[in-house]
A and B are shown apart, each in its own frame.
Chain A
Amino acid sequence: MNVSYQWLSQYIDVSGVSADELAERITRAGIEIDVVQNRNQGLDHIVVGYVVSREKHPDADKLNVCKVDVGAEEHVQIVCGAANVDAGQHVPVAQIGAVMPGGMKIKRAKLRGVESQGMICSAKELGLNDKLLPKHMQEGILVLPSDLTIGTLIADVLDLNDHVMEFDLTPNRSDCLSMIGAAYEVGAILNRPVALPTTSVEETGEAASEKIRVNISAGHACSLYTARYVKGVKVGQSPLWLQNRLLAAGVRPINNIVDVTNFVMLEYGQPLHAFDAAQIAGSSIDVRMAREGETLVTLDGQERKLEPHMLVIADAEKAIALAGVMGGENSEVTESTVDIVLESAKFDGGIVRKTSRQLGLRSEASLRFEKSVNLEHVVPAIDRAAELIRTIAGGTVASGVVQQQVGTHERKVVRLSLEKTNRMLGTSLTAVEVQSILERLVFDVKSVEEGVFEVTVPSRRGDITLDVDLIEEVARLFGYDNIPTTPIEGATTPGSLTKSQRVRRAIRRLLTDGGLHEALTYSFTHPEETKLFPALAGNAKPIALAMPMSEDRSVLRTSLIPSLLDVATHNRNRKQEDVHLFEMSSLYLTEESELTKQPEEKLVLAVLLTGNRQQAQWNVKPEAVDFFDLKGIVDSVVSYLGLSGRVRYEANRPVGYHPGRSASLYLKTNDGEQLLGTLGQIHPDLQRSKDLADTFVAELEIEALVAQADFTIEYKTLPRFPSVERDLAIVMDRQAEMGRILDQATAAADSWLESIRVFDVYTGDRIASDKKSVAISLVYRHPERTFTDEEITEIHGRVIAAIEAEGAELRK
């Protein structure tokens, strides 16, 4: 809502408070004003002039040489390029010395050899908003009404010595969608009284009810409908003062009838509509729901298909307006209109909202109806409009307001306790202070008992229904800054994180300390992407948004890996080829094809490695990451959470991965084992389509880790007896799994094996091409004594036998 300071001063004395200061005080009291616009951007030397004569420029076809009377002793000569300039016009003239709103200085000049002593201005050059001007004011110079005094400052003529405050209203303060509402707010802040416009309508004999009948069929959608009848109007341009007001408010002037309805809407917050009475069949108005299949061509020329949930204004035959949203073309006021029917009503906000949204028709009127208009303003507004039309557009107003009301209207009475007010706010206000604040808002306050008020809330403040609403009014006018600052009283409790939260922090710390960067990516993805890595999603079906913003972000993701691949591609395209990332976010999983309940949100950890392990420099060789870098990270996470030895890798070719370089990971639990996740190199085809080098990814379920995570650390006595170390070189099938041999060797050695470590793997010329050679180092130790040679030989022999039982040979 744009509130003109000058217009506001019609209802309240704002003297002594500048627009900027007022804006600041309004903001601090709850309605944010971000912009205070000065409408006079440099109009000091611009006055009303009279074009005495116009002649063609001798040397230029498109220029005119005008003699202009600007109220000085001598006429000035101005060369003007506008096509519409002519003798006998009143026009704005920028004199020598003027600095125009755009910053241009007006100087004495010669145009094609002819002297020019100023400039005749267009509306735009005066700083008026071009978009709001009617067409005839957008082109050429601005032609002013002929009754203006020559020499008057243009800023006075156009009411441009003004500031406009842009009220940024919260949804509860629709009362300030009107100048009167704004005046009440300012009145409360400044503690000054509000003067409402007084209207006495000059009516002429004939009863309006003879000319138009009103009926409300849809009582649930309209609680009050009023109409007035104005006969013999002359549709034309509005007087300057009215146009000025509308322009200040940011509303385009159209014609005197529409301008009056808009003016009154801005003044009272009550939208009005004018019908051409001749077009209302049967001289009757019915407020009813639209009929199945009914259509209406609205004022914008579009044919609208109506639905039974939409409210219409209808005559005896057809719909003539979409109630509260837009009028119909069939009953529009035009230049030939003679008699009009004015409408002022209260339509249900929800119904107007639904209709205007569905049809994409949002207007100043629908905005106000949606937020609920003030029932008590319906009649004053129509009276004000009828009287203004009579004085501006001529015509006579038929007697009386034709109206129908559904139900009764009572002002809300709210009880307020002083004790509760102070208890909620932490203040120690007195009864007198509270009462005086509420009275500044022009609320009717009665003290019914010690410390208890009964407050009658004016109908303009529909947002106030509870005592806490009044407490807020008291608080904001008392000043939030005046409320004390206190610590919470009473017992304090220790704060903490849950186990899951602690585990996630631990993982984040481990991985970032290990050189990975944490990424965060969008939860929405393309449906195709959900098919790439289905391991953790199981049989889940992707969940689709009802109204996605694009197909790329139309479903909820079922794996984090595709998102991280996109991040890797983004970086690679920018020459960042070494990318080591992880993310901890949720997957959204359901097996329902139509969602009837909330999906499972599964927290997962995803890791991505591509490029080199470390950036190469003089003492670091570039080495590409491989599967075992990734596996090492996964192993570290697992052991950091106390779960070493509880996981098993299985090369079972999970979908999406390179079949020979991937595995699934299982976590052993009390009742068997569960899938923890997958890891490996992504499939070369996918790698190509994503334009990536060798890329390794893992995805693990976090809550499974959380459930099993064990933070206890148990100290083991340091060894007191020496260990025995034995190395073995094993030759085995290339396809065989070393993990199995390590397990078997460990089992065979009982508890005597302290550690077993792979220190070399060889494939190549020196052994058969289908074989690999693996060197391991075993450390045996007895906790209570030194092993004898015989014992070691026996244990080591068992280990060797176990290894050979797996089909491997010792290398001689």
Chain B
Amino acid sequence: MKERLEALRTEALAMLEQVQDVQQLNDLRIKYLGKKGALTEILRGMGSLSAEERPVIGQVANVVRDSIEGRLQELQEAFIREETERKLQAETIDVTLPGRPMARGSVHPLSKVTQELEDIFIGMGYQVAEGPEVEQDYYNFEALNLPKDHPARDMQDSFYITEELLMRTQTSPVQVRTMELMNGKPVKVVCPGRVYRRDDDDATHSFMFHQIEGLVIDRNIRMSDLKGTLLQFVKEMFGSHMQIRLRPSFFPFTEPSVEVDVTCVQCKGNGCRMCKQTGWLEILGCGMVHPKVLEMGGYDPEEYSGFAFGMGIERIALLKYGIDDIRHFYTNDVRFLQQFDRM
């Protein structure tokens, strides 16, 4: 019997080595280890064995079963591994194909720059004020020390609607309106918005454009504070390496008046085509609020002083993004807009 068991083992193990798939494996399991299988068949003869032989043969039978069973198990696992492997292989995708895109729009570059500017000044304690685009001559000119027939009105040809109403040529009338609103209290505002000047459109001119102005009025506001404010602003806007340079200039509503150059954003001051080799770019005008403007706004110029500054948003955007033609801002070509879909 022992010999039969050993022979069974040899045969079964040999058969197992021939197995090709799980089906054959299961067939062999039934054939050798099933309820009606070969091993059971042999062990049926156990009854005829002596009491001494029975445990010995039983042990042999267990060894044979374990060894067949073990091999079966090993092969079974190998088949599962293979099967999994095949499945994974079949499921493999080309991860380099493009993903399904999320919809992504874009903030208009002029809005983007405006928001950035607003946020910088909000961080410095400013409110954001707005005002009408169809403005009274008084607010646009007269209250800014530009009486009718003032030669400086030549500087900005305007779109009039009637004798007294025009498209504002600057955001400065919002300053005057803010002064009236604050009624003698300190002022700290920035005023962004659209402005209009009669100008033939070309790569650097547009009859409609955007400005942002700032106005600070309080007791003891000094020109040195204006310098400090602007330096902080350009560093936050363009980076900590930025420097400013002030040049005397003329605006009817400020005295002294200042033209401000900043380190060229392209060459960082080394000189390039953009800055005409000077290392500087002119980006804003400013000055100490003219006493007549303070007076008309209801502030005593002997007690209060203030500074004002203003800049063109298009100019900042052109510089910041290296855009070559101001008309792109108003044509809204999708291929242009899409480029501003990032932080």
Do A and B bind?
A: yes
Partner-B contacts on A (CB < 8 A): 27-30, 32, 170-173, 349-350, 353-354, 370-371, 423-427, 466, 468-469, 471-472, 475-476, 480-481, 483-490, 492-498, 501, 505, 508, 511-524, 543-549, 553, 556, 567, 570-571, 574, 576, 578-581, 586, 588, 594-596, 598-599, 601, 614-615, 617-620
Given A468-B256, A522-B208, A524-B208, CB of A493 within 8 Å of CB of B159: no
Chain B residue with Cβ nearest A515: B103
Of A170, A424, A594, A617, the contact of B305 (CB 8 Å cutoff): A424
A424 partner residues in chain B, CB cutoff 8 A: 222-223, 288, 305
Measured between alpha carbons, how far is A772 from B103 in the docked complex, in Å? Answer: 32
B220-244 interface with A by 8 A CB criterion: 220-225, 227-229, 231-232
Report the Cα distance A63→B248, complex, angstroms.
57
Cα A601 to Cα B165 with chains together (Å): 14
**Known contacts A350-B149, A425-B223; is-contact A545 B160 (Cβ 8 Å):** yes
Most-contacted residue by chain A among B135, B221, B290 (CB, 10 A): B221
B211 vs chain A, min Cβ distance (A) = 14
- Cα of A516 to Cα of B228 in the assembled complex, Å: 39
- Pairs across A and B, CB under 8 Å, 16 listed: A171-B152, A424-B288, A468-B288, A469-B255, A472-B255, A483-B227, A486-B228, A490-B218, A495-B188, A496-B122, A498-B128, A517-B105, A518-B105, A523-B133, A571-B334, A598-B135
**A468 proximity list for chain B (CB < 8 A):** 255-256, 288, 290-291
Among A30, A349, A619, which residue has its beta carbon within 8 angstroms of that of B248?
Answer: A30
Select which of B130, B165, B221, B333 is within 8 A of A488 by beta carbon: B221
B339 to chain A, nearest CB (A): 10
A-binding segment of B34-42, B47-55, B77-85, B107-115:
B107-115
Distance (Å) between the CB of B93 and the closest chain A CB? 11
Q: Name A619's contact: one of B100, B132, B330 (CB within 8 Å).
A: B100
Closest 5 CB pairs of A and B: A515-B103, A426-B224, A30-B248, A170-B250, A426-B222
**Cβ contact within 8 Å between A171 and B154:** yes
Nearest chain A CB to B100 CB, angstrom units: 5
Within 8 A of A (CB), among B308-343: 329-335, 337-338, 341
Bound-state CA distance A495–B129 (Å) is 11
Cβ of A517 and Cβ of B161 under 8 Å apart?
no
User: Looking at A32, A353, A371, A495, which has the most chain B CB atoms within 10 Å of its CB?
Assistant: A495
Residues of B114-128 whose CB lies within 8 A of A: 115, 118, 121-128
Partner of A520, one of B223, B229, B329: B329
Interface string of B128-161 (1 = CB under 8 A from A): 1010111110000000000001011011000111
Residues on the A chain within 8 Å of B72, using CB: none
Tell me if A518 and B330 are in contact (CB < 8 A). no
B154 touching A480, Cβ below 8 Å? no
- A511:B105 contact, CB within 8 angstroms: yes
Q: Is the CB of A517 within 8 A of B338?
A: yes
Given contacts A171-B155, A472-B255, A519-B332, contact A601 B105 (CB under 8 A): no
Task: Say yes or no: A425-B159 contact (C-beta < 8 A), given A27-B247, A522-B330.
Answer: no
**Cα distance, A349 to B135, chains bound together (Å):** 27
Partner of A579, one of B102, B124, B334: B334
B245 at the interface (CB under 8 A from A): yes
* A518 pairs with B227, CB closer than 8 A: no
Chain A residues lying within 8 Å of B219, measured Cβ to Cβ, are 490
B97–A618 CB distance below 8 A: yes
Q: Say whether A495 contacts B224, CB under 8 Å.
A: no
Which of A476, A497, A512, A601 has the most B CB atoms < 10 Å from its CB?
A512
Instruction: Chain A residues near B255: list those with CB within 8 A.
Output: 466, 468-469, 471-472
- Neighbouring A residues of B218 by C-beta, 8 Å: 488, 490
A605-B333 Cα distance, complex, nearest whole Å:
19
B: interface residue count bin:
35 or more
How many angstroms from the CA of A126 to the CA of B223 in the assembled complex? 49
Chain B residues whose C-beta falls within 8 Å of the C-beta of A173 in the assembled complex: 250
Chain A nearest CB, measured from B204 CB (Å): 15
Check A543/B123 contact, CB under 8 A, given A490-B220, A505-B115, A517-B338.
no
A480 CB contact (under 8 Å) in B97, B194, B247 = B247
Whether a CB of chain A sits under 8 angstroms from the CB of B101 is yes
Q: Are A520 and B291 in contact (CB under 8 A)?
A: no
Contacts of B124 in A (CB 8 A): 495
A496: shortest Cβ distance to chain B, in Å? 6
- What CA separation (Å) do A511 and B111 show in the bound complex? 14
Cα distance A574–B208 in the bound complex, in angstroms: 24
Q: Which of A484, A495, A570, A581 contacts B123 (CB 8 A)?
A: A495
B212 within 8 A of partner (CB): no
- Expressed in whole angstroms, the Cα–Cα distance for A303 and B204 within the complex equals 38
Could you tell me the distance between the alpha carbons of A492 and B335 in the complex, rounded to whole angstroms?
A: 43
Task: Add 18 more A-B contacts to A28-B247, A580-B105 (CB < 8 A).
Answer: A30-B248, A32-B259, A171-B152, A171-B154, A425-B224, A481-B245, A481-B246, A486-B225, A495-B124, A496-B127, A497-B128, A512-B104, A515-B103, A524-B208, A545-B159, A567-B332, A571-B334, A599-B134
List chain B positions with a Cβ less than 8 A from chain A: 97-98, 100-108, 110-111, 115, 118, 121-128, 130, 132-136, 149, 151-152, 154-155, 159-162, 165, 167, 188, 194, 196, 198, 200, 207-208, 216, 218-225, 227-229, 231-232, 245-250, 255-259, 288, 290-291, 305, 329-335, 337-338, 341
Which among A423, A516, A580, A601 is the interface contact of B134 at CB below 8 angstroms?
A601
Complex contact A486–B227 (CB within 8 A): yes
Q: A488-B229, A517-B338, A598-B134 are in contact. Are A476 and B188 (CB under 8 A)?
A: no
Q: How long is the Cα–Cα vector from A508 to B220 in the complex, in angstroms?
A: 39
> For residue B223, which residues in chain A have a CB less than 8 angstroms away from its CB?
424-426, 475, 483
Q: Is the CB of A517 within 8 A of B337?
A: yes
Q: Is the CB of B160 within 8 A of A547?
A: yes
**How many angstroms between the C-alpha atoms of A574 and B338 in the bound complex?**
15
Bound complex: CA A368 to CA B259 (Å): 25
Q: Provide the residues of chain A in CB contact with B332, threshold 8 Å.
A: 517, 519-521, 567, 570-571, 581
Known: A543-B134, A579-B334, A581-B332. A476 touches B256 (CB 8 A): yes
By a CB distance below 8 angstroms, the chain B residues around A32 are: 247, 249, 259
**Chain B residues with Cβ under 8 A from A553's Cβ?**
207
Contact status A484-B248, CB under 8 Å? no
CB A488 to nearest CB in B, in angstroms, measures 5
Q: With A495-B127, A543-B134 in contact, do A518 and B220 touch (Cβ < 8 Å)?
A: no
Contact A488 B136 (CB under 8 A): no
CB pair B225 A487 closer than 8 Å: yes
Tell me, in angstroms, the Cα distance from A485 to B330 when the chains sit together.
38
The answer to whether B122 and A497 touch across the interface, beta carbons within 8 angstroms, is yes
- What residues of chain A lie closer than 8 Å to B123, measured between beta carbons? 495
Given contacts A427-B224, A513-B105, contact A520 B134 (CB under 8 A): no
B197 vs chain A, min Cβ distance (A): 11
Partner of B225, one of A30, A488, A576: A488
CB of B325 to closest CB in A, whole Å:
15
Known A485-B228, A576-B333, A576-B335; judge A495-B126 contact (CB<8 A): yes
Q: Which residue from A518, A519, A546, A571 sits with its C-beta under 8 Å from B160? A: A546
Q: Determine if A517 and B334 form an interchain contact, defined as CB atoms under 8 angstroms apart.
A: yes
- A366, chain B: closest CB distance, angstroms: 12
Give the distance in Å from the alpha carbon of A468 to the alpha carbon of B331 in the complex: 44
Measured in the bound complex, the distance between the Cα atoms of B125 and A133 in whole Å is: 60
CB distance from B162 to the nearest CB of A (A): 5
Of the residues B103, B162, B231, B330, contact of A514 by C-beta under 8 Å: B103
Task: List the B side residues contacting A586 at CB < 8 Å.
Answer: 133
Cα-based distance from A620 to B101 in the complex (angstroms): 9
A475 CA to B227 CA, complexed, in Å:
13
- Select one of A29, A484, A505, A588 contacting B224, CB under 8 A: A484
Say whether B248 contacts A476, CB under 8 Å.
yes
Measured CB to CB, the closest approach of chain B to A795, in angstroms, equals: 39
**Complex Cα gap A619–B93 (Å):** 13
User: With A353-B149, A546-B161 given, is the CB distance from A488 to B228 under 8 Å?
Assistant: yes
Query: For residue B104, which residues in chain A have a CB less than 8 angstroms away from its CB?
Result: 512-513, 515
Q: Which residues of A contact B127 (CB under 8 A)?
A: 495-496, 498
